[in-house]
A and B are shown apart, each in its own frame.
Chain A
Amino acid sequence: MLQVNEWLFIGIFFAIAWALPATPILIAQILQPKRANRLKRETYECGIETVGDAWVQFKVQYYLYALIFVVFDIETVFLFPWAVAYNQLGFYAFFEMLLFVALLAVALVYAWRKGALEWT
């Protein structure tokens, strides 16, 4: 069961990957001075007092970028096993993938023309 052995490694690695950065931070907690006062804890706004509530005008463009990324992400998920098996498949595999990518390219071109890819 070499599979399990490999993933056990990953599991332990995951635990260590969190412990390794936590160690300097914990050391810093021991070594640092602790002179907290109210001024230090204020949120930063270019050196002046904070004005207004801390909310941000959230542009819908951020959401569109994330959405287009999700669509392309799922596309690559389908492409990965196809790519691994590609060497052993016949020529028809290329045409199937061509159709797959062409449909998604249509979506990308649509997004381009409708201005969904612009930053502003």
Chain B
Amino acid sequence: MQTIDWVQWLAFGILTLITVGGALAVVIDRNIFHSALWLLVSLFGVAGLFVLLNAPFLAAVQVLVYMGAIVILIIFAVMLTRRLMGITESVNSQWWIGALVSIVAFLVIALVLAQAGSGSAPLLARDPIATLSNRTVADFGAALVDPAQYALPFELASLLLTGAMIGAIVIAREDA
């Protein structure tokens, strides 16, 4: 297993670099369209991390939904609200407040995850379905519709999607 280990560590390192570097570039790059593209890179890194976590279904879903749909949506939204072709700069004079808040948020999340990893956090009580390595997609599907497990969130998700679509149409068609 030693040989497989270093391959996984290498992949993890590369993917982390891609994810974090991409995320940093999203906020650092002045051209807003380039920021959307860096987001694409970062989300791809997240998909790779899902693969390493033995959740290939979530990796494929990440590529399909996030990279293939939501990034397109974001780019369309950028085009809708700004002049397209010029170098669109985003200037923020309060960046130091943002930096402070994000550092605090990072410390809080890191603390929670460290406690959860050691098993002493009461928040993460239930077995997360997607990351147990001996579960398959079929188990995931069965759990989704099982009334004792995730059936209610399943139906509520469709309600949420319906609401989102109707809301967006109401807003978008008003000014048509």
Is there direct touching of A and B in the complex, by C-beta distance under 8 Å? Answer: yes
Where the two chains meet, the residues of A that have a C-beta atom closer than 8 Å to any C-beta of B are 1, 3-4, 7-8, 11, 53-56, 58, 60, 62-64, 66-71, 73-75, 77-78, 80-86, 88-89, 92-93, 96-97, 99-101, 103-104, 106-107, 110-111, 114-116
Q: Which residue numbers of B lie inside 8 Å of A, CB to CB?
A: 4, 7-8, 11, 51, 54, 56-57, 61, 64-65, 68-70, 72-73, 76-77, 79-80, 83-86, 137-142, 144-145, 147, 151, 154-155, 157-159, 161-162, 164-166, 168-169, 172-173, 175-176
Chain B residue nearest in CB terms to A85 = B141
In contact, A55 and B85 (Cβ under 8 angstroms)? yes
Q: Which residues does chain B contribute within 8 Å of A116, judged by CB atoms?
A: 169, 172-173
Cross-chain contact A81 with B70 (CB below 8 angstroms)? no
User: Could you tell me the distance in whole angstroms from the C-beta of A26 to the nearest C-beta in chain B?
Assistant: 22
Task: Check A84/B165 contact, CB under 8 A, given A1-B4, A56-B84, A115-B173.
Answer: no
Interchain CB contact under 8 A, A89 and B145:
yes
Known interface pairs A58-B84, A85-B140, A96-B145. Does A63 touch B162 (Cβ–Cβ under 8 Å)? no
Question: Which A residues touch B162, using CB under 8 A?
Answer: 71, 103-104, 106-107
A-B contact count (CB 8 A): 141
Docked Cα-Cα span, A89 to B138, in Å, equals 10
Residues of the B chain whose Cβ atoms lie less than 8 Å from the Cβ of A71? 161-162, 164-165
- In the bound complex, residues from chain B placing their C-beta under 8 Å from that of A62 are 76
